Homo-oligomer: A and B are copies of this chain.
Amino acid sequence: MMNMQKIAVLTSGGDAPGMNAAVRAVVRRGISYGMEVYGINHGYEGLMHGQITLMDAGSVGDIIQRGGTILHSSRSEEFKTDAGQQRGIDELRRKGIEGLVVIGGDGSFRGAQRLSDKGFSTIGIPGTIDNDISGTEMTLGFDTAVNTVLEAIDKIRDTATSHERIFVVEVMGRHCGDIALWAGLSGGAESILIPEVNVEITDVIHRLLEGNKRGKKHSIIIVAEGVCPASEIAQRIKKEAGLDTRVTVLGHVQRGGSPSAFDRMLGSRLGAKAVDLLREGQSGKMVGIQRNRITEVDFADVFTIENDIDLDMYELSKTLSI
């Protein structure tokens, strides 16, 4: 067991529900080991500018239920440079801090890996609603985002049913269709379009017309933003099938909201695990959840292993939405 006395934590990239639970866990787990735990404001940008404050157990009280991140987040171009990274390390060392927990997404972990490569102990926690990180089956914030999208689908279904109309709903997910797939399957969407599976819009239209014949008068189509704009699909449906179609782009509501039980649990467990790893002298790793167990994986693997979609689930969604 290392004798690490001072650690710090920051949040980086897009905010995600559950980040506060993770911050709380890092702070309180650290304190339970007798460490001093520092919070860094505004991510890497704040790190380079020395926005580093000592936190106590009370400073993370009453935050587990809040969306966003109390440490604020930001994106930093300067930190992508060697000079920026060194500046960050200097700020940390000036305060005697020996270990860092970075809560964020893929891009944030590249910065974390550089810190680790430069000899500063750094552990990552996957915090992003997109579920697009390899080495963990769920990212922090994903479960909450899926439930938020689901609530929106449930609401839109009220109007779709009342007016017997077709809706195309665009959800987040530039490279990963998990939000679309999970929310679509659990929302009973008639079609789900994701970047991982190539589907012709002609097929979607064919499905619509078939459903119409069976008496299904309304339809909800979920499309991940990485596929194409929802408006494009609506126009094609109008043009090729003559069916009036409405569009909703869910946008930033998907990021916010009080975290679900799962995300608060996951944040708590990953935060505690990250401190445990630092304490054991480990670095350059991400903590995650795999096969329902808290695990760790090298950043190198996070960047190289492909993040697969569950194709069985995709096929299931087609079977169940007849």
Q: Is B320 a contact partner of A24 (Cβ separation < 8 A)?
A: yes
Bound complex: CA of A169 vs CA of B69, how far in Å?
21
Q: Is B248 a contact partner of A158 (Cβ separation < 8 A)?
A: no
Q: Is B154 a contact partner of A256 (Cβ separation < 8 A)?
A: yes
Q: Given A255-B155, A257-B155, answer yes or no on A185-B32 (Cβ-Cβ < 8 Å).
A: no
Q: Given A158-B257, A252-B159, answer yes or no on A319-B15 (Cβ-Cβ < 8 Å).
A: no
- Among A109-117, A141-149, A192-200, A296-304, the one that faces the other chain is A141-149
Closest Cβ–Cβ distance, residue A98 to chain B (whole Å): 21
Q: Is B163 a contact partner of A58 (Cβ separation < 8 A)?
A: no
Q: Is B252 a contact partner of A248 (Cβ separation < 8 A)?
A: yes
* Chain A contact patch, size range: 35 or more
Interface centre among A21, A68, A163 (most CB of B within 10 A): A163
Our pick among B155, B186, B214, B250 for the contact of A67 (Cβ within 8 Å) is B155
Q: Is B256 a contact partner of A156 (Cβ separation < 8 A)?
A: yes
Q: Given A65-B188, A292-B292, answer yes or no on A57-B143 (Cβ-Cβ < 8 Å).
A: no
Our pick among B58, B156, B269 for the contact of A316 (Cβ within 8 Å) is B269
Closest Cβ–Cβ distance, residue A183 to chain B (whole Å): 7
